[in-house]
Amino acid sequence: MQYRVNPRNGDRLSVLGYGCMRFSRTAGVSVNQKKSEEEMSLALANGVNYFDTAYLYPGSEAALGKFLAKGHRKEVFLATKLPFRQCRKTEDFERIFAEQKSRLQTDYIDYYMVHMLGDLASWKRLLSLGIAEWAAAKKASGEIRQFGFSYHGGTDEFKRLIDAFDWDFCQIQINYLDAKTQAGIAGMQYAAEKGLPVFVMEPLRGGSLARLPKKAETVFTDSDPKRTAVDQALRWLWNFEEITVVLSGMNDVSQVEENCASADTAEAKSLSEAELAVYDEVCSVLNSEIRVPCTSCGYCMPCPHGVDIPSCFAAYNLRWSQGWFSGMVSYVTCTSLKEKSAAASACVNCGLCEKKCPQGLLIRDYLDEVKTVMEGRIYKAALPVVKKFLER
């Protein structure tokens, strides 16, 4: 196992972190405690020392707490998340945090973050409730060691959030296919320049990069037949010295073994130009069916009416290149979980974006197409359910 040092506090963290959202489950419902503990024990034995969970992951905190209570708490760095949409008054911070400590059977959290912080407006609302003072008090008491946020959204809003507070760390979605979407490489580098450790989620894009179309898979195997698609995805991330930990949601012993083997040789700046070119070729194959030729440059932003234009197009393209489900998940998380809707339907047809687009795209026409395809009956039915879950 390779390790990287948190530049903020000197913690020596395993480059591979255990993502606890996807614990093994019985009949797809309750956490399979025995199987999950076998997998976590194997990861721990192979040097994984960073475990990430969240209040909103059903059964996850409690399952992890049972495991840590068996003498493992001091062996790991524990991360969990605050469901900020459930915080409507100052007292909610303490109520939720106390419940999390109880579930996790611990009196302190190493890495505590605001979960899925979507925009600056959401952060300002939390500030008005006193979250900055609350977090400072918890850090002073030792109950929280590091305070950060996890993020799904575009680069510009991410940078605004980074600049809005003295964060200890951040967690973003990035992989070789999302290099120029979400916070992207630009966001990752911006955070690192500010001295923040960057934690990465969705390295396999929910598993889609582990199950590549045959044509894309062939590009990888032709270049190096000994490496799997999973190994290729992970080593691309570890090639960035700015990345501290890459999380992987492992729910099978074989996955733990494969990922730990990859982490044994994880080195920054280890990929050659020829190897990096292979990733570009794979991306070209995966993006060959894109519908909107948007480069995510962000010149069209900010939209005065709140539309996250690059994220709308990225999710729409994903719907065609990776399948309907992947596209819909991306669309909901990136555009509809903010204080104000950032979905395509928020467009009022003002046309300011088109005047700024260096590609000359007919953005309004594309947004109308996105709205028609992505915001149908299933989307409209799913959105209130998702929001209710987040705010419960």
How far is the C-alpha of 52 from the C-alpha of 77, rounded, in Å?
A: 9
Cis status, amide bond into 302, omega within 30 of 0: yes
Per-residue pLDDT tens digits for 89-111? 999 999 999 999 999 999 999 99
Per-residue pLDDT tens digits for 69-79? 999 999 999 99
Q: Would you call 36 exposed, middle or buried from its count of C-beta atoms within 10 A (0-12, 13-18, 19+)?
A: buried
290 has a pLDDT exceeding 80: no
What local confidence, expressed as pLDDT, does residue 264 receive? 95
What percentage of the chain has pLDDT greater than the value 90?
69
Structure-model confidence comparison of residues 5 and 328, the more confident one: 5
What local confidence, expressed as pLDDT, does residue 330 receive? 86
Residue 13 C-beta-side C-alpha neighbours within 13 Å: 27
What local confidence, expressed as pLDDT, does residue 357 receive? 83
Per-residue pLDDT tens digits for 355-366? 888 678 899 999
Confidence of residue 49 (pLDDT cuts 50, 70, 90): very high
In sign, the C-alpha dihedral spanning 248, 253, 256, 261 is negative
How far is the C-alpha of 131 from the C-alpha of 117, rounded, in Å?
A: 13
Lowest-confidence region among 49-53, 105-109, 119-123: 119-123
In sign, the C-alpha dihedral spanning 353, 359, 364, 370 is negative
Confidence of residue 24 (pLDDT cuts 50, 70, 90): confident
392 has a pLDDT exceeding 70: no
> What's the mean pLDDT in 189-200?
97
Name the pairing type of β-strands 3-5 and 109-114: unpaired
Contact 328, 378 (CB under 8 A): yes
> What's the mean pLDDT in 198-210?
88
202 torsion bin: left (phi>0), alpha (psi -120 to 50), beta (else)? left
Per-residue pLDDT tens digits for 342-351? 899 999 999 9
Reading the block at residue 297, the tokens are 């440059």
Any idea which residue has 């930990």 for tokens?
245
Contact 23, 59 (CB under 8 A): yes
Residue 301 DSSP label: P
Contact 112, 81 (CB under 8 A): yes
Contact 246, 15 (CB under 8 A): yes
> What's the mean pLDDT in 165-188?
93
How far is the C-alpha of 169 from the C-alpha of 162, rounded, in Å?
A: 9
What local confidence, expressed as pLDDT, does residue 322 receive? 77
Structure-model confidence comparison of residues 267 and 340, the more confident one: 267
CA angle 388, 112, 140 (to 5 degrees): 130
What local confidence, expressed as pLDDT, does residue 387 receive? 67
Domains of the chain: 3-279 (3.20.20.100), 290-391 (no CATH)
268 has a pLDDT exceeding 80: yes
Per-residue pLDDT tens digits for 227-260? 999 999 999 999 999 999 999 999 899 999 999 9
What local confidence, expressed as pLDDT, does residue 326 receive? 84
Confidence of residue 390 (pLDDT cuts 50, 70, 90): low
Three-state secondary-structure class, residue 90 = coil
332 has a pLDDT exceeding 70: yes
Reading the block at residue 258, the tokens are 């494969």
Any idea which residue has 């069209």 for tokens?
300
How far is the C-alpha of 222 from the C-alpha of 225, rounded, in Å?
A: 6
| Alpha carbon 222 to its chain's center | 30
Structure-model confidence comparison of residues 144 and 293, the more confident one: 144
What local confidence, expressed as pLDDT, does residue 72 receive? 96
Q: Would you call 71 exposed, middle or buried from its count of C-beta atoms within 10 A (0-12, 13-18, 19+)?
A: exposed
How far is the C-alpha of 41 from the C-alpha of 47, rounded, in Å?
A: 10
Per-residue pLDDT tens digits for 143-173? 999 999 999 888 899 999 999 999 999 999 9
How far is the C-alpha of 102 from the C-alpha of 3, rounded, in Å?
A: 30
Highest average pLDDT, of 19-33, 289-303, 340-354, comes from 340-354
How far is the C-alpha of 297 from the C-alpha of 359, rounded, in Å?
A: 10
Reading the block at residue 208, the tokens are 């889609």
